Homo-oligomer: A and B are copies of this chain.
């Protein structure tokens, strides 16, 4: 079964099931924190139990397996991140205006940045697991790619028509943009998670500039 399907199943199930117990919330919370910090396989269920102030059995009563707990943590993040993106972006970014491509990119970055600021721990978990779970990777990347294409494809065509963008196939453009933004997020949230963000504004600006113009001097 494809991984995205599993995630959907979990989200569906968790929507069906009555509201979470206080203990369940504590469990998920602790699991996220520990998985984020030490990674899934370096975290034991007994640690999670202790941190949650819960008996170990309780974890298994609710989630069945440790693996399933992980998915229950990841699933909502993955499934809800995409719709959120589309909706939010449409509100925040209006490519029809006489905004420039830079503005468009900046909005995109700010939108995702805010999303990740609100979900930084889960993001760390996901990134770490990405390295070990082929299905996750193989499902996720194409999925994201498609969602983004659907969303920014039109915008890109507009900007291309205006002559603002290089004549590069859309999917290549998207991949470059996303991987550049993505890698900055990974650096910021996963590799140096304790960095304080004094100069966030400057970094956004500089990232936008880099994506749009590269490192070359603009005359």
What is A's interface to B at a CB cutoff of 8 Å? 38-39, 41-42, 101, 127-128, 130-132, 137, 141, 163-168, 172-173, 176-177, 179-180, 182-184, 186-187, 190-192, 206, 209-218
Q: Nearest-CB distance from A142 to chain B (Å)?
A: 11
In angstroms, Cα B212 to Cα A212, docked, is 10
- Once bound together, how far apart are the Cα atoms of A127 and B58, in whole Å? 35
CB distance B168 to A206 under 8 Å? yes
A217 touches B163 (CB 8 A): yes
Complex Cα gap A138–B166 (Å): 37
Instruction: Give the residue name and chain of the B residue nearest to A193 (CB).
Output: B134
A215 & B176 in contact (Cβ 8 Å cutoff) = yes
State which of B131, B168, B172, B179 has its C-beta within 8 Å of the C-beta of A184: B179
**Set B127, B166, B179, B187: member contacting A213, Cβ < 8 A:** B166
Contact residues in B for A131 (Cβ distance below 8 Å)? 39, 127-128, 131, 190-191
Cβ–Cβ contact A132 & B164, under 8 A: no
Report the separation of the CA atoms of residues A167 and B216 in the bound assembly, to the nearest whole angstrom.
9
Shortest CB–CB separation between residue A214 and chain B, in angstroms? 4
Contacts of A183 in B (CB 8 A): 179-180, 182-183, 186
Residue among B39, B192, B215 making CB contact with A41, cutoff 8 Å: B39
Given known A41-B41, A210-B176, contact A168–B132 (CB-CB < 8 A): no
13 A/B residue pairs, CB under 8 Å, sorted by A: A39-B131, A127-B131, A128-B132, A131-B190, A131-B191, A165-B215, A165-B216, A165-B217, A166-B215, A177-B215, A180-B180, A211-B214, A214-B214
Chain B: minimal CB distance from A26 (Å):
23
Closest to A166 in B: B217
